[in-house]
Amino acid sequence: MTIAYPPARKGDVVEDYHGTAVADPYRWLEDPDAAETVAWVEAENAVTAGYLGRGPLREQLRARLTRLWDYPRYGVPEREGDRYYFWKNDGLQNQPVLYRQARPEAAAEATPVLDPNTLSADGTAAVMNLRFTRDGRLAAYGVSRSGSDWQDLHVRDCDAATDFPDVVRWCKFAGIAWAPDASGFYYNRFPEPGTVAPEDASNFQRVYWHTLGTGQDGDRLVFERPDFKELGFSPRTTDDGAYLVLHVWRGTEPENRFYYRPLTAPAAPDGAPGAGSGADAPFVRLLDEADARYDFIDNAGSLFYFNTDLDAPRGRVIAIDVERPEREHWQEIVPQGDDPIDRVDMINDELVVTTLHDVHHRIQRYSRGGRPLGEIPLPGLGTVAGLSGRREDAACFLGFTSYLYPLTCLRFDFATGELTTLRRPELDFDASGYETRQVFYPSRDGTRVPMFLTHRKGLALDGDNPTLLYGYGGFNISLTPAFTVHRLAWLEQGGVLAIANLRGGAEYGEAWHQAGILDRKQNVFDDFIAAAEWLIAGGYTRRERLAIQGGSNGGLLVAACETQRPDLFGAVLCQVPVADMLRYHRFTVGRYWTTDYGNAEADAAHFRFLYAYSPLHNVRPGTAYPPTLITSADTDDRVVSAHAKKLAATMQAAQAAPPGATAAAPILLRVETRAGHGAGKPTTKQIDEQADLYAFLFRALDVPYRPVA
């Protein structure tokens, strides 16, 4: 099928990067509101909709996805005072609803507390942040609209299910820390728009105190670092109410700082609340060298516990007595082990340590002094997706999931050692005929890389199975086994799902992450290409039936691999990609990513390796690229849609027909409206998007759709 793409004007913009002239002909697409951009995007969306809407395939897939999605889903319960809170989606609700019950048992009566579906007519308002007072009576929550990272904070009386008039704005990546007396909360936010230069819109973060029942204009500045504008601050009050602590971060750097101050000063002379509200005690910069990652766990009096990778790339637990903070007094509680530490919680006055063993979770228990106390048994090879409990609790709640195991809520009793199921969802899919297994394959440099494969039992290795290879490979993010309902529509049609655990993530600790950043980013692409070659060599599939998929940093991954090896793949799903590696840091929070990617403008060496793989700059005219669907969203304020638009225009202009073919493969662009980077996307939009993705994939790989009874 020959496609007539909308004309895309080529401009004459050329930039000099350390002596190299680089053309940027589609720079005009960086302005999302320009009439020319809007018209071009509308025309591109029309072409894509026309292509995907041919025949009954898309509607068949949409109907099946709707059936699969329509099952009750529960979040992990959280105890707050004498109340238990959890999120629940009845099935096809656009957003989950927050419920409260007096007991955690599934049969206990639950009362709705907060329904985000009432906040917008189309379900595009989502609750993305939630913090309760210690007694569970009040909750501060953030509302994101149209998928934006920006949030407005509100306060709800959970007993009355009504809101206070308070509204706190200009929050992004915000922490909320209630005062022990519930008189108000600390929060971090960016400057009000217009008060700083546009390039500093994601700088100069500050911590404020908000008194309950008052307007934001009266909020009091608590902490700032005008001398270091790139620092961010996430506040938290310790469970004992004794301290306000700040997790101090700089973009996505794994190294952080840690500050604290006591919350025991008397009330201010003007009558403002005292403990927890605005005492002027200075912050103590306990950890201020940014020499490692320090994740605060909890405190026992003046003893502060941290999960750190200092001198331990796989992590260890240390304790620092803030009354004797010198490093010679630091205590090692849990030493580094063979498996990296993923998270640590203090529950039942114990350290509950979740580790990654070949990319699936295990949970070990230790006394606060570091004595091993045994293991919390898990149902199988999978992921702990949520863990809740406090130091004084005798039980904890956790969510367990895997590729064929929907999120199941469990309760562990520390006294009896018993793990019981609270809620396990039932859905329209029989998983007994499918299996997940883990394999390992060599990358280009010989590195052993893990990969999970999920497919029907008894799969024939005849080289003809449609296979979807997914990856990410960056920012310390590990792809542990997780259930995603729309994948079932792929599996039941005979598809193979392959998830590759590439370098750049945290699957094997900080060394694994470091091996996939900056001038070592090519390792990530090599790992992914090697996974594709292994699947073909092993008889799982062939090139014509192999698709690759990735989003965000994973969108960069598949775009880079496609430009490097266009001969290797049968289709590409490139979602919300970072594609222009020379200019990404100029947009929204792109500057946060320079520690993983580098900065082509500031550093000539960085320019050389970024230019070598930047997808936008490595599209070659006259090349036959595989069928490609690029997606983005007009309100994505994390990875701006300009990346996807410029990449699509460049590839459409360069695309050629393969030898012997009468037409070139499609290069399509899908730009969602009123949706952002992905988080909080309503169910209706998720189903529509997945129907489009699978319709494209089935057509590109020549997979016939067989209706499911």
Cβ neighbours of residue 189 closer than 8 Å, sequence gap 6 or more:
168, 169, 170, 171, 172, 174, 205, 206, 208
Do residues 228 and 290 lie in contact, with contact meaning Cβ atoms separated by under 8 Å? no
Residue 116's SS3 state is helix
Can you give the residue ranges of every domain in the chain?
21-67+438-700, 72-172, 174-291
What average pLDDT does this structure show over 493-508?
Answer: 98
Alpha carbon 538 to chain centroid, angstroms: 32
Share of the chain above pLDDT 90, in %: 92
DSSP class per residue in 285-335: EEE-S--S-EEEEEEETTEEEEEE-TT-TT-EEEEEETTS-SGGG-EEEE-
Please report the pLDDT score of residue 274 as a whole number: 41
* pLDDT at 79 exceeding the cut of 70: yes
* pLDDT at 226 exceeding the cut of 50: yes
What average pLDDT does this structure show over 307-333?
Answer: 98
- ∠ CA 256-260-261, nearest 5°, is 165
Higher pLDDT, 376 or 202: 376
Q: Which of 345, 636, 637, 692 is catalytic?
A: 636
Q: Would you state the structure tokens that stand for residue 236, as one six-digit string?
A: 């938290």
Q: How many CB atoms lie within 10 A of CB 119?
A: 16
**Strand pairing class (546-551; 571-575):** parallel
Rounded to whole angstroms, the Cα distance separating 388 from 80 reads 10
Rounded to whole angstroms, the Cα distance separating 394 from 54 reads 58
Residue 109's SS3 state is coil
Count of helix runs (H) and strand runs (E) in the chain:
10, 39
1-10, 304-313, 408-417: which range is least confident on average?
A: 1-10
For 435-449, b/e burial (b = at least 16 CB within 10 A) is ebeebebebeeebeb
Residue 641 annotated as catalytic = no
The pTM of the full predicted model, rounded to 2 decimals, is 0.95
Kindly report the CATH number that applies to the domain delimited by 21-67+438-700. 3.40.50.1820
Rounded to whole angstroms, the Cα distance separating 154 from 138 reads 11
Residue 21's SS3 state is strand
Cβ neighbours of residue 617 closer than 8 Å, sequence gap 6 or more:
22, 580, 581, 582, 611
User: What Cα–Cα distance (Å) separates residue 450 from each residue in 87, 329, 339, 437?
Assistant: 33, 39, 14, 11
Rounded to whole angstroms, the Cα distance separating 186 from 278 reads 9
* pLDDT at 227 exceeding the cut of 70: yes
* pLDDT at 636 exceeding the cut of 90: no
Q: 575 phi and psi, to 5 degrees?
A: -110, 135
Higher pLDDT, 18 or 709: 18
Please report the pLDDT score of residue 280 as a whole number: 64
What average pLDDT does this structure show over 644-668?
Answer: 96
Note the pLDDT tens digit of each residue in 261-299. Answer: 999 654 343 333 344 444 568 999 999 999 999 999 999
* 3-state SS string for 52-105: HCCCCHHHHHHHHHHHHHCCCEECCCEEECCEEEEEEECCCCCCCEEEEECCCC
For 39-73, b/e burial (b = at least 16 CB within 10 A) is ebbebbbebbeebbeeeebbebbbebbebbbebeb
Residue 274's SS3 state is coil
Q: Which of 234, 402, 443, 552 is catalytic?
A: 552
Rounded to whole angstroms, the Cα distance separating 655 from 356 reads 42
* pLDDT at 59 exceeding the cut of 90: yes
What average pLDDT does this structure show over 205-209?
Answer: 97
What average pLDDT does this structure show over 92-114?
Answer: 92
Using CA of residue 424, residue 428, residue 432, residue 436, what is the dihedral sign? negative
Please report the pLDDT score of residue 270 as a whole number: 36
Please report the pLDDT score of residue 374 as a whole number: 96
Per the prediction, the chain carries an average pLDDT of 95
pLDDT band at 478 (very low <50, low <70, confident <90, very high): very high
Residue 552 annotated as catalytic = yes
Please report the pLDDT score of residue 234 as a whole number: 97
* pLDDT at 108 exceeding the cut of 90: no
Bridge partner residues of 420 (DSSP): 411
Using CA of residue 643, residue 644, residue 647, residue 649, what is the dihedral sign? negative
Note the pLDDT tens digit of each residue in 576-607. Answer: 999 999 999 999 999 999 999 999 999 999 99
Please report the pLDDT score of residue 275 as a whole number: 41
Rounded to whole angstroms, the Cα distance separating 317 from 592 reads 27
Note the pLDDT tens digit of each residue in 543-556. Answer: 999 999 999 999 99
203: nearest Cα among 227, 222, 168, 167: 227
Note the pLDDT tens digit of each residue in 28-55. Answer: 999 999 999 999 999 999 999 999 999 9
Please report the pLDDT score of residue 264 as a whole number: 66
Residue 39's SS3 state is helix
